[in-house]
Amino acid sequence: MDEIYDVIIVGAGAAGLTAGIYSSRAKQKTLILNEGAIGGQMVLTHEIANYPGVESTQGYSLSNTMKKQAKSFGADIKSNAKIIAYHLEDTIKWVELEDGRTFKGKSVILAPGGRPRSLNIPGEDTFKGTGISYCATCDGEFFTNKEIVVVGGGNSALEEAVSLTKFATKITIVHQFDHFQAFEHAIKEAKENPKIEFVMESELRSFNGNGTLNSVDIEHLPTGKMTTKNIEGAFIFVGYSPNTHEFKNLINLNERNEFIVDSDLKTNIPGVFAAGDCIAKKYRQVTTAVADGTIASLSSSEYLRNLK
């Protein structure tokens, strides 16, 4: 007889791991399937200083602690799990993996997270990974003693720019508006750092180089004036796109391709819930993802009780 889990959780970021902690601690047979790195966007964050009860920690450290907690309560975690098909409509749901394995569950929590949004300008694809990065924690050291640009105006852009000053000699933050969308403390910290300067109301138009990235073209939006800035690296922090493309014909999505859920994080399919950066919501923080994972797990538990 095929093994049937009480809940299958897709994704092991903050939301998925939290759901796994709650479900497995409730003595439910829990499976977490994850395609990428355990921890999702948390592992891309150099420092998390506003997680309640924790003064300051690295994103990788927090995600590793969450993983250990889930496993200690009995959650089965499988990494490098590329899911190629979802069968969610029946009472017993199942997923197919690329390697031929299948897993069945009575309920499913979708927490696939998101991916860094691209600028989609000339040269970006050419220099991805060879001058252009979307992760300061992953790649900051490669830009030691180099001049770089950071694109964006939210918390991630400013906080990661500050963290990059440990490596780079100079950082230019390019932002399309005349003001930042970040919290005041992040703005203050960036403005007080002598290694950081700002180019406001501007957008990058191209990445240039011959084999290696050596400059960017920047347009000043109010005037249309173009300038070329010599740099040796670029970090892009302009938000994330939800990893929901596989569910387009299965789960109801909004115009931004986010899962549409109710207050209990139920999707349009009974027994299928969604949590984290993939759902339609206003704020995206580690703490909001943790809250989502908690609610999705509790809602899944209620659903399972009603099945019996």
> Can you tell me the distance from the alpha carbon of 234 to that of 132, in angstroms, rounded to the nearest whole number?
5
Catalogue all structural domains in the chain, each as residue range(s) with its CATH number. 4-115+240-307 (3.50.50.60), 118-236 (3.50.50.60)
Torsion angles phi and psi, residue 42, rounded to 5: -60, -40
* One-letter amino acid of 31: L
What confidence tens digit (pLDDT) does each residue in 120-166 have?
999 999 999 889 998 887 789 999 999 999 999 999 899 999 999 99
What confidence tens digit (pLDDT) does each residue in 242-277 have?
999 999 989 999 999 999 999 999 999 999 999 999
Contact (CB, 8 A) for 48 and 94: no
Say what percent of the chain tops pLDDT 90: 83
pLDDT of residue 223: 98
Beta strands in 140-278 (DSSP E): 147-151, 170-174, 196-199, 202-209, 213-220, 225-230, 233-236, 240-242, 272-274
Return the H-helix or E-strand segment holding 87. strand 83-87
Task: Look up the pTM and report it.
Answer: 0.79
Stated length of the chain: 308
Partners of 204 in beta bridges: 218
Return the H-helix or E-strand segment holding 290. helix 286-307
Evaluate if residue 1 carries a pLDDT over 70.
no
